[in-house]
Amino acid sequence: MKIRSTEDHNVKLHMTAMIDIVFQLLVFFIMTFKIVEMEGDFNVRMPLAAKESTSIEDVLPDLITVKLKVGAEGKIAGIDVDNGVDGDSYFDNDMYSRLTDFVEKTIDTEGDPSEAIETEIEFDIDYDLKYSYTVLAIESVSGKIVDGKVKKLIEKIKFKDNSEQSE
Amino acid sequence: MRFRKDNNSEIMEGDLTPMIDVTFLLIAFFMVLINFTEVDRAEEILLPKSRLAIPPTVRPDYQIILNLDVDGIVKFGGQQFDQIDFLDSALEREKSAAQIENVQPRDISVIIRSHQDTPTGLVQKLINKCQQVGLENFSLRVKEKINY
Q: List the CATH number of the domain containing A144.
A: 3.30.420.270
In chain B, the residue whose alpha carbon lies closest to the alpha carbon of A167 is B121
Q: Which residues of B fall within a CB distance of 8 Å from A11? A: none
pLDDT at B118: 92
A and B: number of Cβ contacts within 8 A? 161
Residue A123 belongs to some domain of the structure = yes
Backbone angles phi, psi at B43, to 5 degrees: -65, -30
pLDDT at A132: 92
- Binary contact (A42, B53; C-beta < 8 A): yes
**Boundaries of domain holding A85:** 59-159
Query: Lowest-confidence range among A51-60, B59-68, B132-141?
Result: A51-60
CB-based contact, A21 to chain B, within 8 Å? no
- Binary contact (A143, B52; C-beta < 8 A): yes
Query: Lowest-confidence range among A83-87, A102-106, A163-167, B15-19?
Result: A163-167
Q: Which residues of B fall within a CB distance of 8 Å from A18? A: 20
Q: What is each CA distance from A101 to A135, A141, B78, in whole angstroms?
A: 17, 9, 43
pLDDT of B82 over the 70 cut:
yes
Residue A45 belongs to some domain of the structure = no
Residue A5 belongs to some domain of the structure = no
In A40-59, the residues whose Cβ lies within 8 Å of chain B are 40-49
CATH number of B40-144: 3.30.420.270
Q: Which residues of A fall within a CB distance of 8 Å from B115? A: 131
In chain A, the residue whose alpha carbon lies closest to the alpha carbon of B137 is A45
Q: What is each CA distance from A114 to A118, A149, B145, in whole angstroms?
A: 7, 21, 30
Percent of chain B with pLDDT over 70: 84
pLDDT at B117: 92
Number of residues that this document lists for chain B: 148
Written as one string, the DSSP assignment of chain B is --PPP----PPP----HHHHHHHHHHHHHHHHH--GGGGG--TT----EESS-B--SS--SSEEEEEE-TTS-EEETTEEESSGGGGHHHHHHHHHHHHHTT--GGG-EEEEEE-TTSBHHHHHHHHHHHHHTT--EEEEEEEEPPP-
Contact in structure between A162 and A123 (CB atoms under 8 Å): no
Higher pLDDT, B92 or B13: B92
- Binary contact (A26, B30; C-beta < 8 A): yes
- If one counts the domains in chain A, the total is 1
- Binary contact (A29, B34; C-beta < 8 A): yes
Residue among B111, B120, B136, B137 with most chain A CBs within 10 A, to mutate: B120
- State pLDDT tens for residues A8-63: 567 777 778 888 888 898 898 888 887 777 788 887 767 565 444 445 445 455 78
Return the amino acid letter for A13. L
In chain A, the residue whose alpha carbon lies closest to the alpha carbon of B69 is A131
pLDDT at A57: 47
Of A23, A129, A135, the CB nearest to B48: A135
Residue A113 belongs to some domain of the structure = yes
Q: Burial of A54 by CB count in 10 Å (0-12 exposed, 13-18 middle, 19+ buried)?
A: exposed
CB-based contact, A32 to chain B, within 8 Å? yes
- Checking ipTM against 0.90, whether it exceeds it is no
Q: Which residues of B fall within a CB distance of 8 Å from A142? A: 52
Contact in structure between B83 and A163 (CB atoms under 8 Å): no
Domain boundaries, chain B: 40-144
